[in-house]
Amino acid sequence: MNERLLNIWKKYRMDELLALYEEADNFTAQFKNVVGLDCQTFCGHCCEKKDIEVTIYEFLPLAFSLWEKDEADLWLQKIEVAEKVGDTICVFYKKAAGEEKGKGFCVKYGLRGLLCRLFGFSVLKNKNGGHIFAVCSVLKIKNILSIEHIQELLDKGVINAPSMTDYYSRLSCLVNDFNMPMYPVNTAVKKAVEKIGYEIENCE
């Protein structure tokens, strides 16, 4: 990594961002093990949602990687094509061969955003300070009794789950932006890539 890239890496505290992601991954894996639930192999139902919204910041490590590997222009072009045809599904999601809905995978899985890491196996705080298990629809349909039992255990404090609310709060503190607007996923990725590109162009 040259000095210019290193300065950008440090400016946006990429090491701390990735450390936050690693912690989230470990907590999520622990929670999955405790409750005995996990995603099905090549399940892409959540990735195929057309209304996913995320922050720019959670995709900065991925954007940095695209510039470092000289892939930024390629993915910006893919986003432009998707925008022209009205395709709002994440450009990094690759559908599996065939026409079966909900089957596919992320081609940039290791650098996916915070939402991607927490969705389906985390909780949201309600207005009373309680925790609502935000499980995905596929698992909920197939494990309705288990899901109800897990919610009971969460309510009683017997088990803990990653909190989507808390992790996004920590992200906002890390990037020093307490507003953190949400964008459609491809828009957020585009803005993240452009942000890092601007820094590369103008960083001294």
Q: Kindly report, residue by residue over 123-157, the tens digit of the pLDDT.
A: 998 888 888 999 888 888 778 778 899 999 999 99
Q: Are 53 and 182 in contact (CB under 8 A)?
A: yes
Mean pLDDT (the chain) is 92
Q: What range defines the domain where residue 178 resides?
A: 3-202
Q: What is the pLDDT of residue 144?
A: 75
Token pair for 90 = 């994440």
Q: What is the pLDDT of residue 99?
A: 63
Number of domains in the chain: 1
Q: Are 123 and 154 in contact (CB under 8 A)?
A: yes
Which residues fall within 8 angstroms of residue 80, CB to CB, at 6 or more apart?
none
Q: What is the 3-state secondary structure (H, E, C) of the chain?
A: CCHHHHHHHHHCCHHHHHHHHHHHHHHHHHHHHHHCCCCCCCECCCCCCCCCEECCHHHHHHHHHHHHCCCHHHHHHHHHHHHHCCCCCCCCEEECCCCCCCEEEECCHHHCCHHHHHCCCCEEECCCCCEEECCCHHHHHHCHHHHHHHHHHHHHCCCCCCEHHHHHHHHHHHHCCCCCCCEEHHHHHHHHHHHHHHHHHHCC
Distance CA 138, CA 40 (A): 9
* pTM attached to this predicted model: 0.92
Q: What is the pLDDT of residue 204?
A: 59
Give the pLDDT mean for 107-121. Answer: 96
Cα first-last separation, the chain: 15
Residues above pLDDT 90, as percent of the chain: 73
Token pair for 20 = 């936050």
Distance CA 90, CA 119 (A): 15
| pLDDT at residue 20 tops 90 | yes
Q: Are 46 and 119 in contact (CB under 8 A)?
A: yes
